[in-house]
Every structure is written in C-alpha cells, then in structure tokens.
Homo-oligomer: A and B are copies of this chain.
Amino acid sequence: MSTGLERFSINQMTVKQLSLPELVDACVQLGVPGVGLWREPVQSYGVEATAKLVRDAGLTVTTLCRGGFFTAIDPAEREQALADNRRAIDEAAALGTDTLVLVSGGLPAGSRDLHGARERIADALAELGPYAEEHGVRLAIEPLHPMYASDRCVVSTLAQALDLAERFPAHQVGVTVDTYHIWWDDQAPAQIARAGAGGRIHTFQLADWTTPLPEGVLTGRGQIGDGAIDMREWKGYVEAAGYTGPIEVELFNEELWARDGREVLAETAERFVTHVAG
C-alpha cells in the first residue's frame, strides 16, 4: 500500500534542530525514505559516522548541500574554493549520494560585473566536473531567486543555470530545480523541459512562497501548502520532463526551527502527501 511518502526526502535544514541520530530515527519512525544532508552538521558528526548511520537505517541520501561559491576574483580565494569543493565531492561520495548541490556565489565586494562572475563559475566547473565524475558525483547548479543575485548566487534562472551546465557533460553538471527560486518565472516550464531532455534534472526541491519576507530574506521559505506555489503543477513539469526521482522538501524558516523537530518533520510529511504525492 502506498504511503505517499515513497519519493519524499527531507532536507536536513528543514529540521536543523534535530541532531543527526534524532533525524535518522524520526525518518525511520515516520517512514521517510530519503534525506538531503548539509556539510556542516555532517562534518560535526563525522562523515564516516554519518554514512554508517544513514546506511544502517536504510535511508537514501538524496543530495549533499552544498558546494559552490565560485565567484571570487582573488587567485588564492579561488584555489581555496576549488579545494573545498573537491572535499565536498569526496564527502558526497562517502555518504553515498550522487548529487552535490551548488550555490554559485554572489558578486565579490565592490564588483558590479554579473557576467564576469558567471564566467568564473564556468571556469570552476571545468576543473571540478571531471573530479566529480571520477567520484560518481554529479554537480547540480541551483539557480537562486533573483533577490539573492548580489550576495549569494549570480545564477538567477534555470535558463542561466542550463547555459552553464550545458558546457559540460550531463553526468558531470546538471541543475537543481527548486520551486521557491523559479515559481515566478514563466520561462521555467520550458527550461525544465530543456533540462529533462538533456538528462540534467539532478534534483527537485520544494518550498512554498510566503510573504512578508523576513529581513535578509534567507529564512522565509514557507511550509508546503502555506503559500503561492502550486506544487502539483511543478511536479507535473518535472515529471513531463522525465524526472521520477526523489522530491526534497527544503525549508529555512525560523518559526519551524523554533518548534519540536519531530513534529515539524511529521507535519512536512503530511503536507507532502496532501500537496505533492499521487
């Protein structure tokens, strides 16, 4: 019998108040089959220890978040970023996930050159793509909402992400399709089709769009069903493009973080069944 949770994956950040053992235990209790992990808590717990924990529980690690931050101009900073991304690829491989999500980076201090920053991302991908392939990991460029263009990610649309990704083989570089970042874009459905045709939808993530946005606009990702996004519509686009993989719910939300993590996970699973599954 279907639980409706077969494709559900909980991104660790959604319930960051849970320790890794608590998260894994809650997933097992609730029948959640997948988790998207973040590097910092994984490093704190230990990469090998985390790998064993999730493996023993029978969970799938759907993604590791996140690599990227490729837009520095200074050569030493650039080398440092590349080295850190090679470590992120190693960690992804050790955790048994095939997908490393990339947040590409914003404008360096004082720069107004979006185009130049985007080209430096391409340079970094050229170096990291083959290394990722050797480790069985695909890089997934995440276009971030245009409100993050200056300080987090100069890649603002799926079209831009694909323009970058398509310079490389699909098994090296693809994209992250995240409803929160692209829901406003009337070109996104066609770009999802383009991504699917090229085998480049490496992960599909969900968050809802709610207002008012909080100061800094980082922690306003809404619980599924609370906002303006028709989740089934977007699931339909990725499925029509051939994507049948896990669907991750990734929320950054102060109100959710202030609550009991197991309760939030249970609520999120329930919202997934209501608004996404089937």
A230 B112 Cβ-Cβ under 8 A = yes
In the docked arrangement, what's the CA distance between A183 and B146, Å?
Answer: 9
Question: Copy number in this complex?
Answer: 2
Interface presence of A278 (CB below 8 A): no
In the docked arrangement, what's the CA distance between A160 and B186, Å?
Answer: 8
Interface presence of A79 (CB below 8 A): no
B215 A213 Cβ-Cβ under 8 A = yes
On whether A112 and B229 interact (CB within 8 A), knowing A146-B185, A211-B150, the answer reads yes
Chain B residues in 8 Å Cβ range of A214: 215
Chain B residues in 8 Å Cβ range of A84: none
Query: In whole Å, how far is A48's beta carbon from the nearest beta carbon of chain B?
Result: 37
On whether A147 and B228 interact (CB within 8 A), knowing A114-B184, A160-B186, A186-B160, the answer reads no
A151 B211 Cβ-Cβ under 8 A = yes
Interface presence of A145 (CB below 8 A): yes
In the docked arrangement, what's the CA distance between A275 and B211, Å?
Answer: 34
B184 A146 Cβ-Cβ under 8 A = yes
On whether A212 and B211 interact (CB within 8 A), knowing A156-B184, A186-B114, the answer reads no
In the docked arrangement, what's the CA distance between A233 and B116, Å?
Answer: 14
Chain A 132-156 residues near chain B, CB threshold 8 A: 145-147, 149-151, 156
Chain B residues in 8 Å Cβ range of A227: 150
Chain B residues in 8 Å Cβ range of A213: 147, 213, 215-217
In the docked arrangement, what's the CA distance between A186 and B160, Å?
Answer: 8
Interface presence of A61 (CB below 8 A): no
Chain B residues in 8 Å Cβ range of A150: 184, 209, 211, 227-228
In the docked arrangement, what's the CA distance between A214 and B112, Å?
Answer: 21
Interface presence of A107 (CB below 8 A): yes
What would 19 more interface pairs be, CB under 8 Å, given A113-B230, A217-B217?
A112-B229, A114-B184, A115-B186, A118-B186, A146-B184, A149-B183, A149-B184, A150-B184, A150-B209, A150-B211, A150-B228, A151-B211, A156-B184, A160-B186, A212-B215, A212-B216, A212-B217, A214-B215, A215-B215
What are 12 sample pairs from A and B whose C-beta atoms fall under 8 A apart?
A112-B233, A145-B147, A146-B147, A146-B185, A147-B147, A150-B211, A150-B228, A156-B185, A157-B185, A212-B215, A213-B213, A213-B217
